[in-house]
Amino acid sequence: MTNTDLAFTPAIEQAQLIRQGQVSPLELVELYLARIQQFNPQLGSYFSIATDMALADAKAKTEQLTQVRDSAELPPFFGVPIAIKDLTAVQGLPCTYGTPILKDKIAPYDDGVVARIKQAGFIILGKTATSEVGSLPYTEPPGFAPARNPWNLEYTPGGSSGGSAAAVAAGLCPIAQGSDGGGSVRGPASCCGVVGIKPARGRVSFAPVGDRQNGIAANGSIARTVADAAALLDVMSGYIPGDPYWLPDPEVSFLEATGQPLGQLRIAFSTAIPPLGDAAEVCQQAVHETARRLEEMGHQVEPGCPDFRGLIEPFQKVWQAGVTATGIPVAALSPMNQWIAAQSGSAGEYLQAVAQMQIISRQIVGFFEHFQVLVLPVYMHPTIRVGEWADLSPEETLQNIIRWVAPCPPFNASGLPAIALPTGFDSKGLPVGVQLVGRPAAEATLIALATRLEATNPGIHQRPALVV
């Protein structure tokens, strides 16, 4: 196995190689640090690299392996590297939120999700790029190099988890954590040709700080395979005392769900998002091809889509409030985020928006009384160029954002689980994908179904030429 092959080996397999003594945690960490040094200057996928911390952890874990009699005693991802999005606190590392004024602010604690990642044996390589305060679907915060798509450096990897998706796609880590408040895991995963899971509301804790946006955001997983993404979701999931909402543990692990039998499912699909109309042709083709393959598997597949009309305005109000909720001085933010903050309105208007969002969400969830899965585009058109909207007014930029990401926010509002899955490439060689949306707390069904779709499309695991 070459170093490049090892870098692109799934995290689950890397954990097995470590247990078998075929590779050490130190060798893996040194491999990824070398790749980060080589490719990150072009990609901008990491804001900060935890070189000393990662090497120290890797050396300690490599030494620990010589003293372990039974590898079964080790945590599941012992010695496997991972990257953490820079909206998430890792003790001893910067947590910038994509703002230059926080570049030197070192987090004094681990977020709950990071504590669980460490307990699972992962070694943290660094913090990945995010849009400023995570508010935008492209990763170009002022004061940082823009994150770029490893399939074509002229294009964005999406946002706000753009750095995590680009790092996974480029083999700068085997797996990464992200977060999704309006498509911020699913969109970058689709732009970069990887897998992204946005779990159901309450599946993964936001302890100790809370999510600040009335439950629309979720910590999620980004990986090159469904199994890896499912296994990371297992690691991150679970109640932490004081969580305002939570789900019971699943009957079987999400990794085990990849092999669970599926009966005939009733599946809906749509290539249009009411009230915004049809997606671009290449995105429509991805949905139709997925629907065809699901029908060939024996599922009952038919056109259908919830009515999302009326959701844009209240969701926009809750999303806008998230900018000021960070506590970062508005004057320190970019003009776009300053404008967003100025639109956020009063507390009463926010609560009215929450109530309206909840009413429409009930209708969306009601759709799934008749269907178990919904297939939609992830975004309404393929990825945009870096800086493509830089010269537009904030109002024009917002309208472009709404039009692009429209298939994602309804499931943040309703708290339904969704998984983005690559399907192929457009005429420019850029990845295209679909999302599968499920019933409340039904991630296992989506994971099982996505695993079967993945198996029928081996071409999606190509590697960007730039990084091989």
Which residues are the active-site residues? 85, 160, 184
Cα of first residue to Cα of last residue in the chain, in angstroms, is 14
Q: What type of residue is 355?
A: A
Look up residue 466 and give its two tokens: 């730039």
Query: What's the rounded Cα separation, in Å, for the pair 459 and 228?
Result: 18
DSSP 379: S
The set of residues, in sequence order, having a beta carbon less than 8 Å from that of 178 and lying 6+ positions away, is 85, 161, 164, 165, 184, 185, 188, 196, 219, 220, 221, 222
Contact criterion met (CB below 8 Å) for 81 and 33: no
Look up residue 107 and give its two tokens: 């987090």
**Of residues 151, 429, 458, the one with CA closest to residue 282:** 429
Number of helices (H), then strands (E), belonging to the chain: the values are: 16, 13
DSSP 105: -
Query: What's the rounded Cα separation, in Å, for the pair 111 and 238?
Result: 14
Query: What's the rounded Cα separation, in Å, for the pair 101 and 331?
Result: 11
Query: What's the rounded Cα separation, in Å, for the pair 160 and 149?
Result: 13
Contact criterion met (CB below 8 Å) for 47 and 127: yes
Contact criterion met (CB below 8 Å) for 445 and 372: yes
Ramachandran region, residue 130 (left: φ > 0; alpha: ψ -120 to 50; beta: rest): beta
